[in-house]
Structure 1
């Protein structure tokens, strides 16, 4: 293999500390499997499940992850002169500027290399140089991507451009399923969706009656993924690695076929997988919201058992008089509830007031973006590392138009929430009221929500501080992605067949029930109530009350409406349109050269004639 020169300073991340075995608070919550509790009987009733939970906790720990990386990606140089193992930062090049993110990324790379590369490469030669070359290439690309991420407005990408694509997907899905023509004349919903939202990788429409169309569509999808990956590598890879056909082909096949094809474009687009992901996310949220409630319940159960066996005297227990729910005063309960809501309202007002006061001294969002934009010196240094001519790549960066800064209140994220919840159908008056408030803040007197306004700075500071702390969120997301794609750190046996249609409906129902459990019951009753349910409840109240059958009917209706909302992500073919559109959007922001020139032109500029 050709020896590579050392990377230049612009692509080197800041110095990092050594790898630690600590985990972030969110990474501890990433694994939603609870630890077995020896004081309860369910752990004794299910010993097999307890062992599986312990095993899942073992293979996701930092110690097991480090051992996996050292075993697969570490070479003979991983042991120093004294015979003790060296740290990972001395063996492997840094991928990013965060040790925790590098640990999860290297774990995914190690699994892919172990299960898909070493299977055939170890039969050819025991040499480890080729694996080191692959790791070095991936590290070079990841550091280049990290630098490009700092030049774009991530908040606008996440809360405006990506929600716009998701909203278009939802509208196309609902339009495809709403038809007034007879069933003998209208087309299938997936065909209507493809006509409304066409994509070259998913054309022609795979008709089950025509086998040729299915093969042609699969071939077009494979070529499309290769073009995307080859175009990105043509910009990110150094010239010597890019001209190495064997290395470039291996990296492109791993990314295009394994990650994009089988992972993102395959399993991640299935409706049942997205619904199961929704269930896991709700479980994580509930675990972070209700820890105190579970602790109080466990303490109450242990106290009741002690009192039952006479081990706790009344004077050792609660000295306050025990009153049943019927004996409590309604006025006292109402007083404490009002006091609680008043305290929460005070905290909200205080948070907004302190944030607005702090926003006066903050710089505008446009100024912060300009300060993070690359300088001409940095552009010249980056072109030297990527192998392109400085004039060509500097011109490509300068020709990228800088779009006008949009206010945060005008982002499509709020429209996406309204479209997903179907707010215009359930509560049209609320949609009009929110639109009027938005118009008053953007156009009205004072223009508080306009670009570089006081409210704009407050919202931007809140997003960057409380919602998008990437060094904390990314390790958790990567850990969940690894456990979903590669359970037990391996490809394992052949994957079981996907759930049937009936099992998929059960998974969707469980997802709807989990989402409904997060919504307060009064809010859910008001929002999901239909005219029939409201009139039926009024008749029952006039007749003398409401029985359990009415509450069950109301519960079933709310679950059915939530299932209808979740069903917009239930078709794999439609989800592929959304996923590929999102992939193109992210690549267009990270690698704007691909939006101006084709893959073949980019490769020819770097001295590669064939790909």
Structure 2
């Protein structure tokens, strides 16, 4: 560990090396209390269970020599993030490395070397991530990929000719979004085509991982063919191949992921639909009880109740108006003190011409000329692709063309009108950027996101049992549930205005949008495109040079 410079650490976490054995119960405890203690479930994502997992898997040969953050090399500049990342590493090494490596030798040097390599890569990635425009990546480039995938999938699934003529939707999609690693288009009736496509995909994953290691690994580790081969195999096949190219590209798994995300968002909302319905039912029951007690709902009582409701409604609108005006005034007053989005020390770190580098899909090479010639000029937030992506998914141009035109006019006025308040570093642009940095890109959310993802992917800190692929009928039920969950996030009045009063029609129309994830092969185009875009933004060298050229430069 001497060859790495450790970062300054936060206060160390308490040492819990004695987790393997629980404290014996005192003699005064009864058998019932002892049984209750033994049956108490332990949260696998808790701090105690997580550190026990890391210590038992990665630090067992070191014994009790201090806190984990002093034994293992730092992965990032945050102790909380390090703990979550080491939990992932411990699970992967325990499930995919210890199962065969411990049968060969009890030596732990290989595991230590793997940890050192991962630590070196994560620290280098963290430094590079600080230079990446995360706002542009998350709200401009990634939504652009999703929008183009949605449009290409819609085009490929539309029947151009009546039966009995047939067109292959996968071939049309691959022609619109060509990706060399996924060619030729696999046809179950042509075995040779399926095998060749699988070989090309595996070679692409190996090329991608080798390119990342050629940039990030230190030279002495890069010279070890055995070490780089094993690490490359773990990442290319077990993580990218089985994870992204395998499970994550399944339609039903994507729909379930969207459903779980929507449920988490729904739990964070102040008033969910169930709560609103409960409040309404309580209100109706109280009104009915009042009518029963009074004996009859006379005209005088009705007038009094109407006046009372009108008074409280007016008071609510007045309070809302006052709060809105106060928020606007405070926001305008503080916008001038917000930091700029265009630091003058920004340097060109990569080229947009992908010559000699990774074979990136054509729809990734759609950056604007201004951003390519001068990357320091960031795109205005109101001009990013997130807005057009949402508009395409909601089909605003067809459903409400007047709304689409109004939004376009407002956008044009904010960009070119008096003061250019929506342009880069304008008042509106600074306010939106500050909101994104504060609520969306908050670093304190990273440990929570990693912990939640670990609980979903590795329940009880272990590999989940192989799940049987749902049948076609079950997949339709999963898609319908996903649509219903998404609709539950929107107020009923907005749904009535946008979709109409027919509830079944709403679900069907949302299912039609979710059907853009209905084909595994097309989903691979999108997911591999997302992975490659992130890799190229973090490692711009891969966009300029090929993997072989990078290896020759590093190894002489």
Other-structure match for 1:63: 48
Residue range with higher mean Cα deviation, 354-363 or 255-264: 354-363
Counterpart Cα distance in 2 of 1:231 and 1:159: 26
The answer on whether the counterparts of 2:273 and 2:488 sit within 8 Å (CA) in structure 1 is: no
Residue range with higher mean Cα deviation, 425-434 or 280-289: 280-289
1:355 aligns with one of 331, 343, 353: 331
Distance 1:341 1:270, change over 3 A: farther
Counterpart Cα distance in 1 of 2:98 and 2:145: 39
The answer as to 2:6 corresponding to 1:15 is no
The answer on whether the counterparts of 1:16 and 1:97 sit within 8 Å (CA) in structure 2 is: no
Q: For residues 265-317 of structure 1, what are the alpha-carbon distances to aligned partners after superposition, in whole Å with 9 as ceiling and x for unaligned?
A: 2111211111111221122122222479989999999xxxxxxxxxxxxxxxx
Other-structure match for 1:179: 159
The answer on whether the counterparts of 1:163 and 1:416 sit within 8 Å (CA) in structure 2 is: yes
Shift of 1:5: 5.1
The answer as to 2:178 corresponding to 1:198 is yes
The answer as to 2:59 corresponding to 1:74 is yes
Q: Structure 2 length normalisation: TM-score?
A: 0.83
The answer as to 2:448 corresponding to 1:481 is no
The answer on whether the counterparts of 1:201 and 1:221 sit within 8 Å (CA) in structure 2 is: yes
Counterpart Cα distance in 1 of 2:45 and 2:187: 42
Q: Count how many residue pairs are aligned between Structure 1 and Structure 2.
A: 498
| Matched residue SS, 1:162 | helix
Counterpart Cα distance in 1 of 2:149 and 2:342: 30
2:260 aligns with one of 280, 289, 296: 280
Distance 1:185 1:62, change over 3 A: same
Shift of 1:186: 4.0
Other-structure match for 1:133: 113
Shift of 1:62: 1.7
Q: For residues 483-529 of structure 1, what are the alpha-carbon distances to aligned partners after superposition, in whole Å with 9 as ceiling and x for unaligned?
A: 23222211254x12211111110001111111111111111011012
1:458 aligns with one of 421, 428, 431: 431
Structure 1: where are the runs of 5+ without partners? 22-52, 81-85, 302-317, 376-399, 530-550
Distance 1:290 1:452, change over 3 A: closer
Distance 1:324 1:75, change over 3 A: farther
The answer on whether the counterparts of 1:75 and 1:128 sit within 8 Å (CA) in structure 2 is: no
Counterpart Cα distance in 2 of 1:401 and 1:73: 47
Other-structure match for 1:252: 232
Shift of 1:111: 0.6
Q: For residues 83-123 of structure 1, what are the alpha-carbon distances to aligned partners after superposition, in whole Å with 9 as ceiling and x for unaligned?
A: xxx21101111111112211111111111100100011001
Residue range with higher mean Cα deviation, 579-588 or 290-299: 290-299
Q: Structure 1 length normalisation: TM-score?
A: 0.76
The answer as to 2:517 corresponding to 1:569 is yes
1:527 aligns with one of 459, 473, 498: 498
**RMSD, aligned α-carbons:** 3.0
1:584 aligns with one of 532, 541, 547: 532
Shift of 1:219: 0.9
Structure 2: where are the runs of 5+ without partners? 16-38, 350-371
Distance 1:113 1:341, change over 3 A: farther
Shift of 1:331: 4.3
Shift of 1:569: 1.9
Other-structure match for 2:340: 364
| Matched residue SS, 2:423 | coil
